[in-house]
Amino acid sequence: MEDIVLDLNGSFVALDEMNSIKTEIMNAQETLLDKKGISSEMTGWIDFMDTMDKKEYEEIKKCGKFINENCDAFIILGIGGSYLGAKAAIEAVRGDFHNELKSPQVYYAGQNLSGAYLKKLVEAIKNKEVCVIVISKSGTTLETALSFRIIRNLMEEKYKDEAKNRIFAVTDKNKGALKTMADLNGYKTFVIPDDIGGRYSVITPVGLLPMAAAGINTDEFIRGLKSGRNEYTKRDFHDNICCLYAAARNILSRRGKEIEILVNYEPCCISIAEWWKQLFGESEGKDGKGIFPASLNFTTDLHSMGQFVQDGRKIIFETTIFVENAGDDMEVPYEGDDFDKLNYIAGKKLNYINQKAFEGTFMAHSEGDVPGIIIRIPAMNEFYLGKLFYFFMMTCGISGYTNGIDPFTQPGVEAYKKNMFRLLGRQ
């Protein structure tokens, strides 16, 4: 297998049903690609790989290399679309235990308001050489701004005038508090384009700078994005897996399958699901509509939520990301006494056993009336990750327009802020 493959064989969606929604999907795709829909001014991500300023991209790689070579740890400050993609990419590509096995270590702040979390983070980095990447399009998000104030003070205390060379800002081109502060203090800044919203921004400096700093090959990532753009903008329903995935999930949702769980069998993919949840949840959950995106990590969660999936309310469909070649592997050793009765699989590799667990689970859930969609990925590297991100973003745009909502706004997230600021006494 040499490409990302969408397998709908276990989805309980018949070909005639797919054909019945085809026109709706193709209209939605046309609306998206021809920029005719609501909020079409926020679709700059479709071609960003080509429109990106080449000089800025070279600067990203240069600064990424600087961070990679000049610190023991760097902190990514951001929330929502301003950190989830970078975290997903770094964990997926650098792999499990990357902070223990690779340098620099990567930490996150500004994604919550916990004093306990920030205090412990400060403790963890106390004796390390540190760089900071602060990411905020608005520049005014409370979680990020607050953490940045504290981290910035610590950086200035530790590095004095040199602090400015260790702080990098990714923000709006012209406006916002972060932009003003960066200009005043002389931080290197990178631009989040006006026509790309937070949850579609992993392909911009928002994702690229942290990836480059973590030693990820961004050229390969962009190659994957471009390959995704070439394939997933095809206006051919049966030859475009974004159209097919959007069709299947909308059919299932209309049948009462209100929850889509994204499942993985590789711990390094857990944060891909976190990014995916934001993408689909913020894009589709509005006007009283939307499929609720959830995620489970198998086989771990088969020993907890697996019960609900198998036997609970029949409102779930399951989309599995399966990595065909997980890379590193280990073999089950043979033992003469066989006390643990595992000799029947002695000599087998763990990744093979994991695959059998997936196949067994898929069959069981199918028997439990849980439709299953499989997204098969040849390997979890920069190229396929870029392509996967693009696949999901394109599907999300098509799916959202099919469902008659605006996939590029998030008015609902303002409600908690209003109350919180009132309670905090902000004028």
Would you please indicate which residues are annotated as catalytic (active-site) residues? 282, 417
Binds ligand PA5 (CB under 6 A): choice among 10, 64, 80, 215: 80
Q: Does 281 bind ligand PA5 (CB under 6 A)?
A: no
Minimum CB–partner distance for residue 45 and ligand PA5 (Å): 12
Q: Which stretch binds ligand PA5 (CB under 6 A): 26-34, 51-59, 73-81, 395-403?
A: 73-81
CB of 193 vs ligand PA5, minimal distance in Å: 12
Structure tokens at 93: 């590509």
Stretch 282-321: interaction string toward ligand PA5, x if CB under 6 A:
x---------------------------------------
- Taking CB under 6 A as the criterion, which residues in 364-423 touch ligand PA5? 410
Residue closer to ligand PA5 (CB basis): 227 or 283: 283
Asked if residue 141 binds ligand PA5 (CB under 6 A), the reply is yes
Nearer to ligand PA5, 155 or 196 (CB): 196
Q: Which of 91, 282 has the CB closer to ligand PA5?
A: 282
Stretch that binds ligand PA5, among 36-44, 112-120, 132-140, 323-331 (CB under 6 A): 132-140
- 198 vs 207, beta carbon nearer ligand PA5: 198
CB-nearer residue toward ligand PA5: 248 or 393: 393
Least CB distance to ligand PA5 at residue 110 (A): 8
Binding site for ligand PA5 (CB under 6 A): 79-82, 136-138, 141, 144, 197-199, 282, 410
